[in-house]
Chain A
């Protein structure tokens, strides 16, 4: 797969000297990024909860005769906004400025524009984020209490990621549905390119 070129797909033209990244390394980067951004969101929400009080309370007064959990709906919405902003910041800003998220950079991956190897502009980076992280979790949280919605949302999430994986695997340019729409391609920063980037002025 290394060194593969995408001559046949006009939408996907990796930059010269940068081979297309394989699915396994991209998947690993995605998992690491998801874990990192989850920790980031968890810490941020925990700090907010420490300041303003818990969003979700275990409602233990049996006299209330209600279910055990009680969530503050306003705080749930605010948390969803906060988490979304953090997630966007984590992915979109590094894609624009650095060409990769922290995990992608660590694994020597770069997200480029498929037309000419350029870094993604804001609109396309945002589109890529939306397609990679559709708001399943947010929808799930905001629809808590509605019967079977949670199961449907997480089922849809599973199907969506299978679609992204399959479209990536079947593409000559390793462009999944999200890459095609955002007109992006993920490359491996080869040794030659890395050397040139470091030494050639």
Chain B
């Protein structure tokens, strides 16, 4: 059922079994898993069912490190959370993504892929993916666009599935289910301003709740789960400092550190050898009606051998800029005339009107994107956008600042930093890519950033994947939560979401964070219903 925090009596104390803070992908997944159980569940959602500027402003926070948007931009603070503008790209982590890399400090998860696999199966249903198959064979059958086969196996192709746009919002998709759930209460406009513990500081007793209208009350629970995203999870822990002055779980100063992203920028440009290189696999397209996108990436073997982390490359086919002058225009006109070759090939010979073969029309109807790619003209360049698995860096962090929000809670700033490990990863992988595509005859790669460059390119951006600020480790000196996502030093405070990722892996985070939320739900049920 749904309720509104603004109508809760002031200073009231609500009791529940599990208090979930945040109704985004992780929070909603947890709450859904507990539907029908004997446990009473209360979900605290800061926003309403729709976007409200006043609530969204609570997210505002500056960037004081590498260029990054204001923290209110990448996230959404209403029911469904950031899934309300999620891009829907899904791919599971591989076994190697969980492994420690000897050459890179702070890598390695305390759990293996086999611990997550059963939950991946369920997570695929939760995010509404129609298939759990990411194999190349599945996504390049028959005459569908196929991946490049290069000389060595150091550059590989991989598949990401795309959730259909209308199915991406957890808020829209699961609102009715939660509304009908008798043991789950979603309180809207309920801002968790902190977690109060007992005197020992080891047991969470209540979540303090405030509304923008001035109402305040608390929720007492047996267990608490923070599911507010990597920035806010750290913020809640750091500002909950009544008993532990450095904040909950921060006895080793790790909360908020190791902020991770999937940094991306244009790393190189390929000048193709043919005007219509056959790269449809690497553009967003449909196979059997399902949307997918292919990527190039360094192989795990190459990464381990070179001491690198993952690097994924997206190919962006470019068709040149507008003509610069009359001679350039004339040259392009000739190029366009040359492209009539395309029509010559697909037109039935002898027909007075140049009409394509039925098979060509069928193909175009079945895969309009491919036909468009082909017919819109020759490709002059192929951009290679690199997406790096950022190396864990304790100096990349979320920190509290002096400014307070409308609720009186300290705001945070993001000090995002990359390292030489990341720079070397880009350079080395692009060198390999250049050699491979050159040998295969695809084209020539120009790497855009010099070997001696110490800065980062101007188009550096993140994938709006916030991770790492409450990283998972069995060692309290190296992580904020244990392998059950329980905050070290606390008995009943858990964290859900990608803030627990110690490394960002080579895949987008949503599928894994949902899988981990399912795993945490099973853990809570096992623990509480014993």
Contacts and interface: CB of A to CB of B under 8 A. Distances in A.
A59 B276 CA distance: 11
A163 interface: no
B118 interface: no
Interface in B237-294: 273-281
Interface string B330-344: 000010011011111
B228 to A, nearest CB: 43
A162 interface: no
Interface stretch (A14-22, A63-71, A179-187): A63-71
Contacts of B441: 65
Interface in B303-345: 334, 337-338, 340-345
Contacts of B147: 62-63
B304 to A, nearest CB: 26
Interface in A96-148: 133, 135, 137-138, 140-148
A56 B357 contact: yes
Given A45-B357, A150-B341, A67 B278 contact: yes
B350 A41 contact: yes
A82 interface: yes
B527 interface: no
B341 A66 contact: no
A61 interface: yes
A197 interface: no
B162 interface: no
User: Main SS of chain A's interface residues?
Assistant: helix
A141 B277 CA distance: 22
Interface string A42-78: 1001100100001111111111111111010000110
Contacts of A41: 348, 350-351, 355
A151 interface: yes
A87 interface: yes
A145 B146 CA distance: 24
Interface residues of B, number: 45
Contact of B341 (A42, A65, A142, A145): A145
Contacts of A82: 350
Interface stretch (A2-10, A31-39, A165-173, A188-196): A31-39
Interface residues of A, number: 53
Interface stretch (B19-27, B108-116, B119-127, B358-366): B358-366
B345 A61 contact: no
B105 interface: no
B146 A63 contact: yes
A67 B275 contact: yes
B348 A69 contact: no
Contacts of B447: none
A60 B350 contact: no
A80 interface: yes
Given A56-B360, A62-B147, A150-B343, A133 B352 contact: yes
B353 interface: yes
B278 A59 contact: yes
Contact of A62 (B281, B337, B348, B355): B281
Contact of A42 (B143, B146, B148, B358): B358
A61 B278 contact: yes
A137 B440 contact: no
A27 to B, nearest CB: 14
B354 interface: yes
A87 B350 contact: yes
B490 interface: no
Nearest to A147: B338
A134 to B, nearest CB: 10
A79 B349 CA distance: 6
Given A60-B145, A150-B344, A137 B352 contact: yes
A147 B404 CA distance: 68
Interface string B144-174: 1111110000000000000000000000000
Nearest to B334: A148
A64 B147 CA distance: 10
Nearest 5 pairs between A and B by C-beta? A83-B350, A141-B349, A150-B340, A151-B337, A144-B344
Interface of B: 143-149, 273-281, 334, 337-338, 340-355, 357-360, 363, 370, 374, 440-442
Given A37-B352, A41-B355, 19 more contacts: A34-B352, A41-B348, A58-B143, A60-B281, A62-B277, A62-B280, A63-B146, A63-B147, A65-B441, A68-B374, A79-B348, A133-B352, A137-B347, A140-B354, A150-B337, A150-B340, A150-B341, A150-B343, A151-B340
